[in-house]
Amino acid sequence: MRTIYLDGQYLKVSAQIIEAFTPGSFKAKGVFETMLGLDGLVMDASLHLKRLRAGLKFLGIRTPSIDPMVLKEVLRRNQLSLARVRVMVWRAGKQTHRMIVAMPYKISQKPTYRVCLVKTDRVANARLTNVKSLDYELFAKNYAQANTQGFDEALLLNCRGHIFEASRANIFWLKNKILYTPPLDSGCLNGITRQQVIKEAKGMRIPFKEKNLTPETLKVADAAFLTNSLIGIKPIEVRD
């Protein structure tokens, strides 16, 4: 049994209940954020909650109050020193619901992720860059399929044939000492770690550009890596 926070109450529920509310399988109009819980702290919680509020505003859903201390309390009640913390807010009828769950997380010891390329019909635009939507089936499906085939991640191509992100992460690459990442109008999420990497690169005066990424460009890159709030920065190797 796990303790979750649902609409102001702490409840003990089974793993099956938590699984039923997984983005990609749970169907609802709303948003979610995934954060790293470490030794009682939820990393970058304020940045994630800020993006969550922006996503709800975009979808026209009333933003409920979410006390950051509740995130810590869910961690404490589940006795987790390392966890994947998820906040979900969705609307059902006229009612808005909020849920916080914390699940055990194990950091991958793989030095490099093996990734594959997957074509999608994702529209290239910047409208959803701050919306981590519960309409997540495209990403969940391709992540699961990549795992089944022995890959750690799937790089997703939009309708224009550009790699806009991985199923659970943003992508960066290096070429001739210049750091690149796809622009927001490619259809990628403006990830929290993405923003931090860009900020650090500029602070360190590393040449940086946003540029559309094709499979051909990636193949001749000097290096490439994925970023998200759980894995941090993870180098990749592309397999056909």
Domain of 64, CATH number, reads 3.30.470.10
223 lies in which domain range? 113-238
Residues 64 and 143 in one domain: no
Local confidence pLDDT in tens for the 240 residues of the chain: 999 999 999 999 999 999 999 998 898 999 999 999 999 999 999 999 999 999 999 999 988 889 999 999 999 999 999 999 999 999 998 999 999 999 999 999 999 999 999 999 988 887 778 899 998 999 999 999 999 999 999 999 999 999 999 999 999 999 999 999 999 999 999 999 999 999 999 999 999 999 999 999 999 999 999 999 999 999 999 865
Residues 124 and 215 in one domain: yes
Q: What's the rounded Cα separation, in Å, for the pair 218 and 174?
A: 9
Task: Name residue, tokens 């995934």.
Answer: 34
Q: What order do you get walking across the sheet with 82-92 strand by strand?
A: 9-13, 2-6, 95-104, 82-92, 29-38, 41-42
Residues 144 and 233 in one domain: yes
Residues 98 and 184 in one domain: no
Residues 122 and 232 in one domain: yes
CA-nearest of 190, 200, 196, 183 to 169 is 190
Residues 43 and 117 in one domain: no
Question: How is residue 167 written in tokens?
Answer: 């199923």
Domain of 216, CATH number, reads 3.20.10.10
CA-nearest of 67, 57, 48, 54 to 8 is 67
What pTM was computed for the model? 0.93
Residues 130 and 86 in one domain: no
Residues 82 and 162 in one domain: no
How many domains, in total, are found in the chain? Answer: 2
Residues 56 and 127 in one domain: no
Residues 8 and 94 in one domain: yes
Q: What's the rounded Cα separation, in Å, for the pair 207 and 179?
A: 6
Question: How is residue 222 written in tokens?
Answer: 């000097």
